A = this chain, B = another copy of it.
Amino acid sequence: MNGPPKSPETGQGPRVEEIPEGDDRLRLVCPDCGFIHYDNPKMVVGAVVRYGDRILLCRRAIAPRKGYWTLPAGYLELNEAPHEGAAREAWEEAYAKINIDSLLAVYSIPRLSQVQLIYRATLLDEDVKPGLESLAVGLFRWEEIPWPDIAFPTVHWALHHDRELGQTQVFEPRTNPPGSSDRP
């Protein structure tokens, strides 16, 4: 996962707000070297990975929400297509070999400048195990999902959207549910 700029912690790097020449928005500029930090929204890619009637979840080994359960997901890397990133994250977090089936949802969290592309996927081999960023991984039937220990609202959304769609093959990708604080 890529982190945010390190300026707040170190007091270094781009830390002065200015509107650069030819621009129309405030950007962080480094007073030491003049570097302009063009910050952009970040894309998270992940998947609801199914193996029969069970769904793959990973228990987070890292902050935020360490110890809580999540879908395999993470930041899209440079030079990577979203579906490739989702498959990579499943491998990194759970050594899961998956087949991407369709785009389940596009969630947006403007507060965090984050857009999530969550796919539906099929697990090709039941043999999963924790990657470096997971304390544990598991395959859960719906009633076995550790609901009180789910890491993020978007994981709730994706699990419910996937279940509501059932066997539906052709559908419009879901978006933030009504009433969510970050409804698009």
Binding site for B on A (CB under 8 A): 2-7, 10, 12-14, 25, 30, 32-43, 75-84, 102-103, 106, 108, 110-111, 113, 115, 117, 170-173, 182, 184
Contact B108 A82 (CB under 8 A): yes
From A4, A35, A117, A170, name the one whose CB has the most chain B CB atoms within 10 angstroms: A35
Contact A172 B34 (CB under 8 A): no
In the complex formed, the residue of B with least CB distance to A107 is: B81
How many copies of this chain are found per oligomer?
Answer: 2
Contacts known (A41-B76, A76-B41); A34 close to B12, Cβ less than 8 A: yes
Contact B2 A30 (CB under 8 A): no
Contacts known (A40-B43, A43-B43, A172-B103); A35 close to B5, Cβ less than 8 A: yes
